[in-house]
Structure 1
Amino acid sequence: MVTLTEARENRTVNDWVAFFKQADIPVLRQTARELAALREREDEMGARDITRVVINDPLMMFKVLTYANNHRSRHQLQDLVQVEQAIIMMGNSTFFDQIPTVPHVEDVLDSHVSALVDLLKLMIRAHRAGYFAADFASHLMDLHAEELRVAASLYDFAEMLMWIFNPEAMSEIRNRQAADKTLRSRVVQQEILGFRVVELQEALVHVFNLPSLLTDLMDEQRAHLPRVRNVQLAVNLARHSADGWDNAALPDDYKDISQLLHVDIERVMHIVGARH
């Protein structure tokens, strides 16, 4: 068993993975509040009602999918990739009994307000990326749009976990990059964390038994495949539009999305809700 202090000091992916295996992953307080309200009328609502709450919180989505895929019946051969499908398979009562809605992100980062702000921005961005990915998939008549929503929403989940459990180091990375715009994320991560966040993400996907389809959809090496391209473009769009619609990178995003969806750029801007 690796403690949080040891994980921070040892600075290796393996130590962080060992820590996360027994860590209590927090969720947003709003998620806990909404799920508590649903639990009070458990008999009259279905998996879809729970799903609507879960997909707003990438950390809760992570908890649901890891639990579902680690507790599959022997007859369930396929990975559970969609949140609603996972909740249906486990049943409402198992969901409420086995997936805790504590601790809360806001409490864990109570003494790190700036890190909390950065984490919440990242989670909002992840949720928007999921929305964009599902929307693009619908335009392409992809019958499994929800899989793309999940992949885009969880694209940065290792970074979210590091903001929660290693806020000082993540704040230092942010400050260094703010001071030097040419500094590459991967370089500064390696220097301060001892590894790149993408390496941690790959290890966590494997250890937590997340569906292999998700790793495929998050894999930049497969960017030539349309569904992987969808996820990448949704993540890029969410990142570049996080502070408004005047980011210099957005015209390139619109062009790439227009090629993916086979529509003109004006149509893309309408689809994504871009404002001139």
Structure 2
Amino acid sequence: MSDRLRLTAPLPTLDAWVDAFARAEIPVLAETAESLEHMRATEDDVDANGLGEMIASDPLMTLKVLAHAHTLRRGSSTGLRAAPETVTGALVLMGITPFFRAFGPQPTLEDVLSDHEAALLGLSRVLQRAERASRYALAFAAHRADPDAAILHSAALLHDFAEMLLWVHAPDLALQIAALQEADRQLRSNAAQRQVLGIELADLEQALMKRWQLPELLTRITNDKHERDPQVRCVYLAVRLARHTARGWDDAAVPDDLHDIAELLNLSESHALKLLHEFD
């Protein structure tokens, strides 16, 4: 993941999209880059939990760390097979000093999109939505006493990472999709994506997760095709609610979300709504 990429036209196949995005450099939030440099200066005082907690608030840095952990496992002579399922687990695997050696000063989203203010705004909305979805997913998991709560938090945070990468690597195409949906509020995201890109971002995301050999549990939980699985449903409903309430709680789809969330949590709808406002 080292090339700077800026696409202005769709690629011909899903494989071509995967190859391009897998090679491209992934920038991170400026605040993440700044925090990493501050921690680098006091490396002896840094532990995996503190570093992991900071990184886990940035979906693209989270993605980079989990993908890098895969390369370490692939080159390991110890026969280590299981992928770490959280950022903290990945940091424990690689060690603090090797982490800082592998991750030098990071390129930032703000610098990469400094010439494209509209794309930076679009990306900011996706990042904000992901942060809210991850909070909902963590709260749902905690309510259900799910032992994989931390992984569900990561899954919700990463659920739309292909859309984030599209804003970074193909901002003009991302804006075309946004314009289509703004013009027709009934147009589904996957239909708009097929129209502009020739592919669906969910398929690109699953293919990238397999290319980077991200943890099987994380890959499964982010795949909405397994929506009836309780863990997948936890993340799916968190992402759905965050999307529908991005502009407020008066979206026509919110009552359906509320019904399904109440069912998931085994609560009345009024109690579920009260909890949701507390989570938010």
**Contact 1:63–1:99, Cα closer than 8 Å, also in 2:** no
Residue 266 of structure 1 and its aligned partner are, at CA, apart by: 2.9
**Contact 1:7–1:16, Cα closer than 8 Å, also in 2:** no
Residue 274 of structure 1 and its aligned partner are, at CA, apart by: 5.8
What CA distance in whole angstroms lies between the structure 2 residues aligned with 1:206 and 1:266?
40
What CA distance in whole angstroms lies between the structure 1 residues aligned with 2:63 and 2:4?
22
When the two structures are aligned, how many residues end up with a matched partner?
Answer: 275
One-letter code of the match for 2:209? V
Could you say what the CA RMSD is over the residues aligned between the two structures, in angstroms?
2.1
Partner of 2:40: 39
What CA distance in whole angstroms lies between the structure 1 residues aligned with 2:128 and 2:214?
22
TM-score with structure 2 length normalisation? 0.91
Q: Which shows bigger deviation, 182-191 or 31-40?
A: 182-191
Q: Does 1:108 align with 2:112?
A: yes
What CA distance in whole angstroms lies between the structure 2 residues aligned with 1:85 and 1:60?
14
Residue 4 of structure 1 and its aligned partner are, at CA, apart by: 4.1
**Contact 2:33–2:107, Cα closer than 8 Å, also in 1:** no
Partner of 1:99: 103
What CA distance in whole angstroms lies between the structure 2 residues aligned with 1:183 and 1:162?
19
Partner of 2:132: 128
Alignment deviations for residues 144-189 of structure 1 (CA, whole Å, 9 cap, x no partner): 2111111111111111101111011110111111112232322222
Partner of 2:11: 10
| 1:87-236 correspondence runs (5 A) | 87-236=91-240
What CA distance in whole angstroms lies between the structure 1 residues aligned with 2:121 and 2:84?
31
What CA distance in whole angstroms lies between the structure 1 residues aligned with 2:209 and 2:185?
30
One-letter code of the match for 1:40? A
**Contact 1:11–1:195, Cα closer than 8 Å, also in 2:** no
Residue 105 of structure 1 and its aligned partner are, at CA, apart by: 0.4
Identity of aligned residues (%): 39
Partner of 1:52: 53
**Contact 1:46–1:92, Cα closer than 8 Å, also in 2:** yes
**Contact 1:3–1:19, Cα closer than 8 Å, also in 2:** no
Give the structure, 1 or 2, with the largest relative contact order (CA under 8 Å, sep 6 or more).
Answer: 2
Partner of 2:89: 85
Q: Which shows bigger deviation, 35-44 or 155-164?
A: 35-44
Alignment deviations for residues 65-121 of structure 1 (CA, whole Å, 9 cap, x no partner): 111122124342212111111111111112212124521101111111111111011
Q: Which runs of 5+ in 2 are unaligned?
A: none
What CA distance in whole angstroms lies between the structure 2 residues aligned with 1:181 and 1:137?
31
What CA distance in whole angstroms lies between the structure 1 residues aligned with 2:158 and 2:195?
24
User: For the structure 1 residues 60 and 101, does the alpha-carbon distance in structure 2 shift closer, same or farther, using more than 3 Å as the test?
Assistant: farther
Partner of 2:63: 62
Find 1:270's aligned residue among 268, 271, 274: 274
Residue 206 of structure 1 and its aligned partner are, at CA, apart by: 1.2
**Contact 1:81–1:214, Cα closer than 8 Å, also in 2:** yes
**Contact 1:2–1:18, Cα closer than 8 Å, also in 2:** no
What CA distance in whole angstroms lies between the structure 2 residues aligned with 1:144 and 1:10?
37
What CA distance in whole angstroms lies between the structure 2 residues aligned with 1:79 and 1:160?
23
